């Protein structure tokens, strides 16, 4: 049938962008950033930013 796509086969942007859904998700570089206070620390390969907490305010950090 036209218009039907298997799961993860594209269409409206699905199935794109790497394993975590972002363009930088698989790379070793970059920074971990606190969304609350803006504190930045270098990303450590093998350690997800979301597993780190901001040393200034205690908020869970995100990948920049």
**Model confidence over 16-55: pLDDT tens digits?**
544 455 544 556 789 999 999 999 999 999 999 999 999 9
Whole-number Å distance between alpha carbons of 58 and 20: 24
- pTM of the predicted structure, to 2 decimals: 0.57
Whole-number Cα distances in Å, 45 to 30, 57, 63 = 10, 23, 12
Taking CA atoms, 33 is separated from 1, 2, 14, 28, 53, in Å, by 45, 43, 26, 15, 10
11-15, 21-25, 58-62: least confidently modelled range: 21-25
Spatial distance between the Cα atoms of 62 and 41, rounded to a whole number of angstroms = 10
| Residue 18 confidence (pLDDT) | 47
């Amino acid at each position: 049938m036209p218009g039907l796509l298997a799961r993860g086969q594209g269409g409206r942007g699905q199935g794109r962008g790497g394993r975590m859904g972002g363009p930088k998700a698989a790379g070793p570089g970059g920074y971990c950033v606190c969304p609350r206070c803006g504190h930045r620390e270098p990303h450590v390969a093998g350690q997800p930013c979301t597993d780190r907490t901001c040393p200034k305010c205690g908020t869970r950090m995100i990948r920049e």
